[in-house]
Amino acid sequence: MRLLHLSLTNFRNFTRLALELPPRGVLLIGANAQGKTNFLEAVYLLATFSSFQTHVERQLIHFLEARKSPAVGRLIGEYQRRDGTHRLELRLILEATAGDGMRLRKEALLDGVKRPLSQIVGHFNAVLFAPHMTQIIEGGPEERRRFLNLTLAQAIPGYATVLSEYVHILEQRNALLKQLAAQAGHVAQLDVWDQELTARGAQLMYWRIQALQEMERLAARVHLELTRGAEVLRLMYRPAYEPLPLPVAQISLPLSTPLDRSHLKVEEIREGFLERLRAMRREELTRGVTLIGPHRDEVRFLANGIDLGDYGSRGQVRTALLSLKLAEMEWMRLRNGEWPVLLLDEVLSELDSQRREDLLARVSTCEQVILTATDASAFPAPFLLQSTLWEVKMGQIYPKNHLAEEKEPG
Ligand SMILES: Nc1ncnc2c1ncn2[C@@H]1O[C@H](COP(=O)(O)OP(=O)(O)OP(=O)(O)O)[C@@H](O)[C@H]1O
Ligand SMILES: [Mg+2]
């Protein structure tokens, strides 16, 4: 997959940008606060409709534009896939709500036709790698669920739709549980929500089981190579509802024990999930909240049986993240039949020279990779020769052709 053209209007510090993108490597060089990360954020938004920088989405619109009501930011990407060239337009519309607040609404048009976001998420694919993403390994479980959702939604048709239905049902069910906890409403009303929740929840779990197994296989192989055979990496799925039949799930096994859930069918997971919800009903009624399901799933990363989230050294975590990101990229290629566009934000500066070479060697097999750095000195000359260099300056992008500018002779 390859991004051919990107145009941004009132997106972050880009008031107006229109750019043709070359194949292979594009290196964005610039001082701090010029727009390098914002540029990658824009490309990633086209793949996921989700920002990797902020949960406050109104920040995505240029702040001068955002004073207007309504305010509009616009991203248009033209890209080449195996099935042809497409145009994806994302509109960010900041408007007043019925109350006093403002809300950001997103609209997407694929090849000129307005479509629900969850249906076209992942039509364009990107994998993003930024240093703060070590949070996937070291941060809270919500970071890992987010990673899973953003990755799986790009490669599993239906994932985003089922996930958004699940989230909606969960909110309704939680509202009802709260009511019931306050002695209002009828407990029997829960039955309907239990059916709905478990149908979507089981489907999500099934996809997560399959995807994590596939990704683990890829990540373990990369990691073994990156650590020169020293570490075996495992991705342990720890679902909040354990679908494996008793007594396996009852025995408290050490964390590192692999459990194979890949033979489970969606219907089996669903039946067990429903049964478990019923068994937990009293506790849920007391607590007023849904206690099990994919919204509470966890994934742990283990190197040689040691949990990296708890005990990993900085270097170990960084290398594991690198393995995970390379695996994510390969997994997407396997699932979608083509490479995603790879986005690397300031990644090289964090790696030692050996890992740098490992990374660049691997990403050069991709169709297109966009990298950012404050200067080009961390990049080996052969890589620079194959890449296009651009300078990012105050929300504008200029060609920066000559290698000699970066590397002083002598
Ligand atoms: N909504 C917005 N409107 C206008 N400018 C914005 C908006 N959001 C962020 N910016 C500006 O964008 C700049 C940051 O851009 P970005 O994070 O892409 O920088 P960078 O080039 O990646 O820098 P660094 O090397 O420090 O990572 C800041 O100066 C910030 O004020
Ligand atoms: Mg940056």
Model confidence over 51-79: pLDDT tens digits?
A: 999 989 999 999 999 999 899 999 999 99
Residues 150, 75 share a domain: no
Pocket residue to mutate for ligand 1, from 27, 36, 62, most atoms within 8 A of Cβ: 36
Residues 152, 6 share a domain: no
* % the chain with pLDDT above 90: 83
| Residue with CA at minimum distance from ligand 1 atom 26 | 32
pLDDT at 195 over 60: yes
Q: What is the 67 CA–ligand 1 centroid distance (Å)?
A: 18
In contact, 396 and 17? CB cutoff 8 Å = yes
Q: How confident is the model at residue 185 (pLDDT cuts 50, 70, 90)?
A: confident
Enclosing H/E stretch for 235: strand 233-238
Q: How confident is the model at residue 408 (pLDDT cuts 50, 70, 90)?
A: very low
Structural domain of 152:
133-337
Residue 350: its pLDDT value, please? 81
Residue 262: its pLDDT value, please? 95
Q: How many independent structural domains does the chain possess? A: 2
> What confidence tens digit (pLDDT) does each residue in 240-294 have?
999 997 665 555 666 667 789 999 999 999 999 999 999 999 999 999 999 999 9
| Residue with CA at minimum distance from ligand 1 atom 28 | 33
Q: Mean pLDDT, to the nearest integer, of 380-390? A: 92
Ligand 1 atom nearest 41 alpha carbon: 18
Q: Mean pLDDT, to the nearest integer, of 174-181? A: 94
Ligand 1 atom nearest 34 alpha carbon: 21
Residues 6+ apart with CB under 8 A from 170: 197, 290, 293, 295
Ligand 1 atom nearest 60 alpha carbon: 1
Residues 330, 276 share a domain: yes
Distance in angstroms (rounded) separating the CA atoms of residues 269 and 252? 20
Ligand 1 atom nearest 35 alpha carbon: 18
Residues 392, 291 share a domain: no
Residues 6+ apart with CB under 8 A from 269: 202, 205, 206, 243
> What confidence tens digit (pLDDT) does each residue in 35-46 have?
999 999 999 999
pLDDT at 410 over 60: no
Strand 24-29 to 368-373 pairing: parallel
Q: Which ligand has the shortest distance to the CA of 130?
A: 2
In contact, 395 and 15? CB cutoff 8 Å = yes
Residue 208: its pLDDT value, please? 98
* % the chain with pLDDT above 70: 95
DSSP SS3 for 378:
helix
Nearest to 120 by CA among 128, 132, 112, 129: 112
- The domain boundary, picked from 307, 337, 367, lies at 337
Q: Which ligand has the shortest distance to the CA of 32?
A: 1
Distance in angstroms (rounded) separating the CA atoms of residues 392 and 186? 60
Q: Mean pLDDT, to the nearest integer, of 155-163? A: 97
Which residues lie with the beta carbon below 6 Å from any ligand 1 atom?
12-13, 30, 32-38, 59, 61-63, 374, 392
Q: At what angle do helices 189-226 and 353-363 cross, to 10 degrees?
A: 110
Residues 6+ apart with CB under 8 A from 225: 358
Nearest 5 degrees, angle CA 219-CA 223-CA 228?
155
Distance in angstroms (rounded) separating the CA atoms of residues 218 and 302? 15
In contact, 163 and 83? CB cutoff 8 Å = no
Q: What is the 38 CA–ligand 2 centroid distance (Å)?
A: 7
In contact, 113 and 328? CB cutoff 8 Å = no
Residues 204, 322 share a domain: yes
Residue 247: its pLDDT value, please? 62
Rg (CA), the chain: 23
Residue 139: its pLDDT value, please? 97
Q: What is the 11 CA–ligand 2 centroid distance (Å)?
A: 15
> What confidence tens digit (pLDDT) does each residue in 306-327 have?
999 999 999 999 999 999 999 9
Residues 194, 93 share a domain: no
Residues 210, 73 share a domain: no
As given in the structure block, the two tokens for residue 95 are 């408007």
Q: What is the 16 CA–ligand 1 centroid distance (Å)?
A: 15
The CATH number that applies at residue 273 is 1.20.1050.90
- The domain boundary, picked from 320, 337, 354, lies at 337
User: What spatial distance separates the first Cα and last Cα of the chain, rounded to whole Å?
Assistant: 39
pLDDT at 406 over 60: no
Burial, 284: exposed, middle or buried (Cβ in 10 Å; 0-12, 13-18, 19+)? buried
Residues 251, 187 share a domain: yes
Residues 328, 352 share a domain: no
Higher pLDDT, 286 or 403: 286
| Residue with CA at minimum distance from ligand 1 atom 16 | 35
> What confidence tens digit (pLDDT) does each residue in 328-380 have?
999 999 999 999 999 999 998 888 888 888 889 888 888 999 999 999 998 98
Residues 86, 57 share a domain: yes
Lowest mean pLDDT among 87-96, 162-171, 381-390: 381-390
Burial, 379: exposed, middle or buried (Cβ in 10 Å; 0-12, 13-18, 19+)? buried
Sequence letter at residue 382? P
- The domain boundary, picked from 337, 353, 377, lies at 337
The CATH number that applies at residue 16 is 3.40.50.300
Residues 143, 96 share a domain: no
Enclosing H/E stretch for 84: strand 84-96
Burial, 213: exposed, middle or buried (Cβ in 10 Å; 0-12, 13-18, 19+)? middle
Q: What is the 248 CA–ligand 2 centroid distance (Å)?
A: 47
Pocket residue to mutate for ligand 1, from 8, 12, 52, most atoms within 8 A of Cβ: 12
Residues 352, 312 share a domain: no
Ligand 1 atom nearest 30 alpha carbon: 21
Distance in angstroms (rounded) separating the CA atoms of residues 335 and 222? 18
Q: Mean pLDDT, to the nearest integer, of 209-226? A: 97
Ligand 1 atom nearest 40 alpha carbon: 18
> What confidence tens digit (pLDDT) does each residue in 219-236 have?
999 999 999 999 999 999
Tell me the pTM: 0.94
| Residue with CA at minimum distance from ligand 1 atom 11 | 13
Residue 351: its pLDDT value, please? 85
pLDDT at 184 over 90: no
Phi, psi of 143 (to 5 degrees): -65, -40
Q: What is the 25 CA–ligand 2 centroid distance (Å)?
A: 18
